C-alpha cells in the first residue's frame, strides 16, 4: 500500500489528524474510502486483511496497475497493511492489541457476534482502552462524507466512550 503526499494541515502546518491511529478492518466502498480520507488528513491507518484472501476489491478489475486492481490501489493510499488469519486465536489477539491501542476502529464485519467472539465489540474495547474517539461499525448505506464528519466531530467531543453517533450530513453544512 503506497504512501502519498498529504496537504490537509492545521495551524502548525501539520496534517490535522497527526497522531491519531486508525485500524481499518473494512472492505469495499465506504470503509476503505473513509479510512483513505483519514489517512489523507494525517492519521496513521493500518489496513487489516484476511490472510490468504485479502480485501475483495483486490479482484475488482480491470483495470490493473501491474498485478493490482486499480480500484484497490486508489482507495488504499496512505495506509500500511497487515494480513492476519482472523479465524485463529493468534490472529484475533494481534487484531485486539492493535484495536485496543487505536483512536478509531473502523469495521464492517457482517455480524456483531463475530466481533463479540473476538472481544472487539464496543464493551470489550472500552474495558481495555477507555479513550477511543470512535468505534464505527459501517453500514452499507452510509456515505463517506457522513462517516468522515462523524469521526472528526467525535475527536472534539467526550473521548471516554467508544460509540457510533447518529448524525446526518445536513448538520455539517454550516460547521
The CA-CA-CA angle for residues 108, 25, 75, to 5°, reads 95
**Structure confidence at residue 161 (pLDDT):** 47
**Is 22 within 8 Å of 38 (Cβ atoms)?**
yes
In DSSP notation, 60-127 reads --SSEETTEEHHHHHHSTTEEEEEE-TTSHHHHHHHHHHHHT-SEEEE--S-HHHHHHTT-SHHHHHH
**Whether residue 175 has pLDDT greater than 70:** no
Q: What's the pTM value of the predicted model, to 2 decimals?
A: 0.73
Predicted local confidence at residue 46, as pLDDT:
97
pLDDT digits (tens, 9 = 90+) for 117-164: 888 888 887 787 776 556 666 554 455 556 666 666 665 555 444 444
Q: Do 56 and 27 touch, CB atoms closer than 8 A?
A: yes
Q: Write down the pLDDT at residue 170.
A: 35
The span from the CA of 63 to the CA of 120, in Å, is 35
pLDDT digits (tens, 9 = 90+) for 72-120: 998 999 999 999 998 899 998 999 899 888 888 888 876 777 788 888 8
52: left (phi over 0), alpha (psi -120 to 50) or beta: left
The DSSP code sequence of 5-58 is ----B-TTSSBTTTT-EEEEE--STHHHHHHHHHHHTT-EEEEEEETTT--GGG
Instruction: Find out whether 76 and 105 touch, Cβ atoms under 8 Å.
Output: no
Amino acid at each position: 500500500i503506497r504512501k502519498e503526499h498529504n496537504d490537509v494541515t492545521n495551524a502548525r502546518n501539520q496534517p490535522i489528524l497527526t497522531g491519531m491511529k486508525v485500524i481499518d478492518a473494512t472492505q469495499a466502498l465506504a470503509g476503505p474510502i473513509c479510512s483513505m480520507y483519514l489517512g489523507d488528513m494525517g492519521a496513521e491507518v493500518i489496513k487489516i486483511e484476511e490472510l490468504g484472501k485479502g480485501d475483495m476489491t483486490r479482484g475488482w478489475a480491470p483495470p490493473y496497475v501491474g498485478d493490482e486492481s486499480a480500484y484497490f490501489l486508489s482507495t488504499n493510499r496512505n495506509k500500511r497493511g497487515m494480513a492476519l488469519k482472523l479465524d485463529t486465536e493468534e490472529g484475533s489477539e494481534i487484531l485486539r492489541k492493535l484495536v485496543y491501542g487505536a483512536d478509531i476502529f473502523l469495521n464492517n464485519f457482517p455480524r456483531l457476534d463475530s466481533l463479540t467472539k473476538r472481544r472487539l465489540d464496543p464493551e470489550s474495547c472500552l474495558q481495555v482502552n477507555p479513550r477511543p474517539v470512535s468505534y464505527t461499525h459501517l453500514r452499507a448505506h452510509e456515505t463517506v462524507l457522513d462517516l468522515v464528519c462523524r469521526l472528526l466531530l467525535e475527536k472534539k467531543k467526550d473521548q471516554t466512550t467508544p460509540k457510533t453517533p447518529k448524525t446526518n450530513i445536513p448538520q455539517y453544512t454550516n460547521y
